[in-house]
Amino acid sequence: FYTQPLCTPTRAALMTGRYPLRYGLQVGVIPSGGRYGLATDEFILPQVLKEAGYATRMVGKWHLGHADRAMWPRQRGFDYFYGSLVGEIDHFKHQTAHGDPDWFRDNEAVEEEGYDTELFGADAVKQIESHDPASPMFLYLAFTAPHTPYQAPQAYLDRFPDIADENRRAYAGMVSAMDDQIGNVVAALEAKGIREDTLIVFHSDNGGTRSKMFAGEGAVDGDLPPRNDPLREGKGSLYEGGTRVVALANWPGHVPAGEATGVMHVVDILPTLAGLTGADFAKAKTLDGMDVWQVIETGQASPRQDMVYNVDPAAGAIRDGKWKMVWTATLPPMVELFDLDADPSEANDLSAANPEKVAELQERVIELARVLAGPWAGQMLADLGADVIKVENPEGGDDTRAWGPPFVEAPDGENLSAAYYHSTNRNKRSIAVDLKTPEGQETVRRLRATADVVIENFKRGGLISNRLDLLSELDLVYRKSFGLRVSAAAWYDAVYNRGNQNQTTSANNTPRNEFSPETRKLMGRKAEFLDAFVFGRFELGDKPATVRLGRHSLLWGESLFFGANDIQNDQEKGGIGVSRARTPAGPFVDYLGKPLIDRFH
């Protein structure tokens, strides 16, 4: 059973049945100062069940948005809510790491004394006792335990006198307290006479914390208690230790004792519960989840053969059957391939022996990462002084406006948009255009007619489906790159792979993986660059030349460039070259010391 690597993304996946990368919640968690949350246009699990006639009640930790009341549980389909809105609180004081109170009943702040795990359990019991069994109920009980800070009542600490480490002793006490409260909930179901009519699903929201980077907003002294052995790493990681978690389902007379080994993901819970209850989720956006009830009930093979762990600007991971690929784009960049059937600990990287499988999985990650590449490429041109016009969706704008924290705020504290968006779109202008309308398509055509460079990050065929086949314009060099690797040729490398080599196509279509010695000397240690491909036509003297270029170079944002010597060498071999983007003469041109072909379309 798999979740996302962190708590906010997992809770979002549970509620929506969709991977968080679909709506910008796949990176990090919502901090106590965050002013964003799960988009309110997502039709989520309590809303689905409510329309099917269920009473919907939530007790515990929300962590899907707290700055705007529209994001709170009562406004998102729950009839009742009791608990905390942020991700981490003092378990006795019910305050955030910054000392702000975070304890609510419905939409009102309340002050209560007690250990939160015990309060949650007691309130869940009350909800069961007061419920009319003539109608069904969905109870979402989300304990804060055993999240940091590591705190437990003395009575629970006293249960573990042989544990010397203070953090581990508190952790054991927290888990023990949670166990007791789950027992109280089950006892309440039995006392109510509805135990045999109740399906209980229990799971963690991520792997155990092994890095203090993911321990929470409050400092943790000493060692972290959780262990995920034999799984690799833990919370915050795309390896199995961060995403493969404990889970159980219990329903007397329906779920047999034993172990189900088929692959399941937290996004599967919504469609599975909808299938059991007959609920209609047509109002929900397209789901990534699938109904896996047959795996739980009868042990049949899982219908889920593939799974996306996550894709963000730094890394991506995907599973297909027994194969799992982890693709790290940050330094040092690497691609790893594991056979999870034989090697669940991910100790043996098989990528070198299985290049075709790696290529297949990379291709799928690329389609999910497409939104990442365009802003980065346009950012470099804008920094050079180009007039970059960004086309955005009129309904909410670019997806990255929601990719926080941190966020840019108005003077009154209102959340405006993500700092990430402003960083990758600095020095640009934006225009809102609906590409599905003839008017919007004509607007883009007019912009294209005056553009030197066009960058787009549609899925394949997206431009054509919107009647904007820019490749038909042969006076235009068409530059296309994807978030984690190029996909326009049979040979490839990571788009965010940084290194001091260049890859071009020579006359016999063989990749050439180095700069000429002259250009390398000029570049020195500034040879880090972003990969990309260029397709199209431009004039070399009086001869048209087809451009097919790998690994456009970025001199730390100074320019997209190829040295004149590289162009000359390629021409002599019957190959190709490319010019720089049109930029004002300045230090870069002086630094390079050689003239470049002066126009780039």
What is the extent of the structural domain holding 219? Answer: 7-303
Q: How far apart are CA 441 and CA 42, in angstroms?
A: 28
Cβ-contact 310, 26 below 8 angstroms? yes
DSSP assignment of 206-240 equals: SPPP-SGGGS-SS---S------TTS-S-TT-SSH
Q: Render pLDDT for 133-168 as a digit per residue (tens, 0 to 9).
A: 999 999 999 999 999 999 999 999 999 999 999 999
Cβ-contact 434, 394 below 8 angstroms? yes
State residue 130 phi and psi, 5-degree precision.
Answer: -90, -5
State residue 405 phi and psi, 5-degree precision.
Answer: -80, 170
Q: What is the pTM of this model?
A: 0.69
Determine the pLDDT at residue 459: 54
Determine the pLDDT at residue 308: 95
Find the radius of gyration of the CA atoms of the chain: 27
Cβ-contact 532, 495 below 8 angstroms? yes
**Mean pLDDT of the residues in the chain:** 77
**pLDDT grade, residue 426 (50/70/90)?**
confident
Residue 601 has pLDDT above 90, yes or no: no
Q: How far apart are CA 460 and CA 431, in angstroms?
A: 23
Cβ-contact 286, 17 below 8 angstroms? no
Mean pLDDT of 531-543: 30
What does DSSP assign to residue 353? T
Among candidates 596, 594, 512, which has minimal Cα distance to 550? 512
Residue 483 has pLDDT above 70, yes or no: no
Is the residue at 121 inside a domain?
yes
Q: How far apart are CA 512 and CA 86, in angstroms?
A: 52
Q: How far apart are CA 193 and CA 189, in angstroms?
A: 6
Is the residue at 503 inside a domain?
no
Residue 383 has pLDDT above 90, yes or no: no
Residue 7 is among the residues annotated as catalytic for this protein: yes
Structure tokens that stand for 41 in this block: 């246009």
Active-site choice (7, 66, 147, 265): 7
Structure tokens that stand for 292 in this block: 């896996």
Determine the pLDDT at residue 90: 95
Determine the pLDDT at residue 130: 97
Domain holding 18: CATH number? 3.40.720.10
Domain count, the chain: 1
Is the residue at 400 inside a domain?
no
**pLDDT grade, residue 504 (50/70/90)?**
very low
Is the residue at 103 inside a domain?
yes
Active-site choice (63, 66, 147, 601): 63
Residue 91 is among the residues annotated as catalytic for this protein: no
**Which residue has better confidence, 393 or 282?**
282
**pLDDT grade, residue 70 (50/70/90)?**
very high
Tell me what percent of the residues of the chain surpass a pLDDT of 90.
Answer: 50
Hey, how many other C-beta atoms are within 10 angstroms of the C-beta on 209?
A: 23
Determine the pLDDT at residue 344: 96
Is the residue at 598 inside a domain?
no
Is the residue at 431 inside a domain?
no
Residue 395 has pLDDT above 70, yes or no: yes
